[in-house]
Structure 1
């Protein structure tokens, strides 16, 4: 266990897309259970903080060994920013050293993923590190709206370039964010200084935002068993 890294699990009561999703049952357990359990089992963290406004979430977290940070109404609505919620939790416990944001919408992110990302973050001497998956389609071949029309997101030559000649590109999957507490507080950003990535597979990267996502996650968990 590292004495200088704090896990922060953000699990509010409301959700516009999937009401009550953090306590919905997934393969017999509440959704938030998977993230709290993975954080505890990883043995990476000195503290596992659950930032919530929900009594049920708080109870689940405490039963597994986490500590509750009660978030105010100003951080509990649909417009609340993750950066503000994480800062509130870090300040509530006077955290120093490193932090890791773990969102409960990534239930297939395991303790092994957490340990692997933590080791890469430390060994690579990164200031921050995020989990990613490789993009299915190269973003360099993307058009964006501009000036009443469209234009290449980077440059026109990339639109017709062979894929193998383009740089690998990654999409942030939302499962893991490691960083230094001081830099995060200073810049109010998860992407500070020397940024690293921890690549995950597609199935482990599932992000729960709908009933369809819940059904997919249920199927994948049952398949593992």
Structure 2
């Protein structure tokens, strides 16, 4: 749901809005030779977060926090460019991996005291081709492409100079009044003698911090909100913000249910390929007093394999020539899971593509669980890919999902649940689309 409001000239958050007349020529001024304005997305991601260190690239439900909003921005296909403004090398690497260009901000706008507006103004000054900037907050992981599309339409089709996201809240607010000898309160948005029922009260609009669209001219004048303004109302389930540690587990549960997982249809996954050593086992080999080799397999992982098989997903386990598995383990896995085993694989990508050709599959129908450098190509190519918690950085950067469980301790089960969750979400969306078609 979205609503616009032409507020003209009024006080907003303690700042007098720019008069509409001062930006009335913005649409005509900021155009390229084809008559099209350059619209960009800009995510601010400083490396010096005090609440949660390197919060912007911390894994949330298997994806770097900033990856959730970058995926939504890129897939919305409404931006001429998508940028991350940062001062940190690791954030830069993650941003590029998720399809963004990087603006290395100056030390002057990388301080604790620097405002978002100052950082955006620096970016605008150094990128004169940009006409409209959408500042997307990295801490809003339930943002979807359609939110951005609908909000941008208020600028491109209805002539607004700024649009920002809000959520409707039904909360009674009180003002603290400090006095000598103690403090008292007074109501801000209610009459205590006539407390309204929720169904009789429209509530209040509160910024949820997800995004702020503004024209270059407004930004240059020192405003993110002003001129002819509009708000875009997001439902509460999508209004997730992460500020401190206690927000993290709540956000993780919310994003698994309401987050945007990309354009691919995960229900087409028909084959899971999984390393035995370093994924199904922890990579360690124990020797008995008699010289027998021993490894351990977690029964939860075996259960995860059977869950996938019940849903029609074939599972193939393989080992490399550098990490052969004991015959007893191969026999156990074959007996207990019914999986096909590919042993002593030398060239993983070639072997995988041969299996795909035999089954007439393409990469988007394949899920891949790897754990090290030899898996990087397959992790990049697979429609869904993952690594255990303790995988090296080279594999972690190539995977689309990072398990919270280490190798041999539930990583396979976790990835299986992730695959099935995405399949369930996709099926639900298909059912909703079918219902809409039937209605109209």
TM-score, normalising length: structure 2: 0.46
Distance apart, 1:150 and its partner CA: 5.1
Q: Which residue of 2 aligns with 1:145?
A: 177
Which ranges of structure 2 fall in alignment gaps of 5 or more residues? Answer: 1-35, 259-421, 423-440
| Aligned equivalents of 1:190, 1:3: Cα separation in 2 | 18
| Aligned equivalents of 2:105, 2:54: Cα separation in 1 | 17
* Bigger Cα Rg: 2
Query: Mean Cα displacement is larger for which, 57-66 or 101-110?
Result: 57-66
Q: Which residue of 2 aligns with 1:24?
A: 58
1:182-197 to 2 correspondence within 5 Å?
182-186=217-221, 188-197=222-231
Contact 1:7 1:102 in 2 (8 A): yes
Q: Which residue of 2 aligns with 1:59?
A: 93
Q: Which residue of 2 aligns with 1:179?
A: 214
| Aligned equivalents of 1:201, 1:63: Cα separation in 2 | 30
Q: Which residue of 2 aligns with 1:109?
A: 143
Q: How many residues align?
A: 219
Output the aligned Cα RMSD: 2.4
Q: Which residue of 2 aligns with 1:132?
A: 166
Which of the residues 156, 167, 170 maps onto 2:205?
Answer: 170
Distance apart, 1:217 and its partner CA: 2.0
| Aligned equivalents of 1:73, 1:105: Cα separation in 2 | 22
Which of the residues 211, 214, 219 maps onto 2:248?
Answer: 214
Deviations 1:38-72 (A, max 9, x none): 11111111111110011121112222332111112
Higher relative contact order structure (alpha carbons within 8 Å, sequence separation ≥ 6): 1
Which ranges of structure 1 fall in alignment gaps of 5 or more residues? Answer: none
Contact 1:10 1:50 in 2 (8 A): yes
Contact 1:69 1:92 in 2 (8 A): no
TM-score, normalising length: structure 1: 0.86
Q: Which residue of 1 aligns with 2:125?
A: 91
Deviations 1:104-123 (A, max 9, x none): 00011111211121123434
User: What secondary structure does 1:36 align onto?
Assistant: helix
Distance apart, 1:100 and its partner CA: 0.5
Q: Which residue of 1 aligns with 2:104?
A: 70
| Aligned equivalents of 2:67, 2:185: Cα separation in 1 | 44
